[in-house]
Homo-oligomer: A and B are copies of this chain.
Amino acid sequence: MILTDSLLDFFLETRKDSENICQPLEIEDYVVQPVVDVSPPKWHLGHTTWFFEEFILKPHAEGYKEFDPDFSFVFNSYYETVGKRVVRSDRGNLSRPSVKQVYAYREYVTEGIKQFFGQGQTQALNDLLEIGIHHEKQHQELLFTDIKYILGNNPLLPVYSEKFEDHPIENHQSDWIDMDEGIYDIGHNSEDFCYDNELGRHKVFLHSYTISNRLVTNSEYIEFIEAGGYQRFDIWHAEGWDWVNQNKVNSPLYWHNIDGKWWHYTAKGLQKVDGSAPLAHISYFEAFAYAQWKGLRLPTEFEWEAAQKFFPWGTRWEWTESSYLPYPNYQKADGALGEYNGKFMVSQKVLRGGSVATPNKHTRHTYRNFFHPQLRWQFTGLRLAK
């Protein structure tokens, strides 16, 4: 629970953060969608705004005048409850509304929220606003990784920012943490915000296990590449092996082998791979194959959550062995917001942690991120267990 005042500050700061992420962009960078999973930056800016307009201002703010009725069609993402929408693969085909119009839309809705919440509102509306803020934060991470993809996929490999470090180093000694067999409490357990998929708090029995206090590094992964890891079917899932072969994958995303040396595209442009930095931009298939090759395994999300206090985390989203499934007694929210999480609980893997692209106050030790096993444009890495 959070008071209206500080909630409004949180809201305004979050709105500003989204725009700051886009500050280095040219107008053209806001528009394109090189692959279906990557949305145009202007779409993220519009969609997060639409969320506040559609779920708060339109139904609750008396006298609110919709900015432009066509925008609903353009900026709805997947909420079937709310009506028709541009199909996802068409987002990059839309030159209008222009970036300027999208910023005007943002300003209009931000102002609308400010006025509507200015005098305080009910707890239910505050809760809705808080969800909207977290929704925008969630998109900020995608906004950043989508921008990275848009620039990193361009043959000119333009620099995003000379100041953004997306490959920080873990400075502590590598070690193994032994965890005892027993019953552990899993799931969210405080008054702070969380998503429905982190509830309800429940018990899980874990056999004793050992988990690394450190993420796998680039140099460790280069050993795997050099040992022929991408050519050995026996360490891959059957679907992973097909993925490797159909896509001719032989290194993490953004890696280029130039004259026998590994370089990668980063926010600072093309850089030499630093072997001591944690690995990023691998799929679950690659994470699994690497672990197999080492004779080890990935932790489950429960093992991760139970042990996380013993190691630093937060620069990489970490693939776990767990599939994205409902917790016992999981309750879907009512109405359109019920579409937020539950309907994706099939065919995806859970990631735990956070990343250099995760906004401030957005992740926590019970946060469950999820992606299909072949995706790797997030800052995805891995931690080993045994």
Contact = CB atoms under 8 A, between A and B. Distances in A.
Nearest to A349: B346
A239 interface: yes
A326 B42 CA distance: 42
A233 interface: yes
Interface stretch (A21-29, A50-58, A120-128, A250-258): A21-29
Interface residues of A, number: 68
A338 interface: yes
A233 B32 contact: no
A293 to B, nearest CB: 13
A284 B323 CA distance: 15
A305 interface: no
Given A96-B158, A207-B329, A328-B207, A343 B238 contact: yes
Interface in A59-76: 70, 73-74
A46 interface: no
B321 A240 contact: no
Interface of A is mostly: mixed
A241 B344 CA distance: 11
A110 to B, nearest CB: 22
B80 A234 contact: yes
A377 interface: no
Given A155-B74, A321-B326, A346-B237, A32 B373 contact: no
A246 interface: no
Contact of A346 (B78, B93, B239): B239
A303 B28 CA distance: 47
Given A205-B203, A207-B202, A240 B81 contact: no
A89 to B, nearest CB: 11
A172 to B, nearest CB: 28
B34 A153 contact: no
A150 interface: yes
A3 interface: no
A154 interface: yes
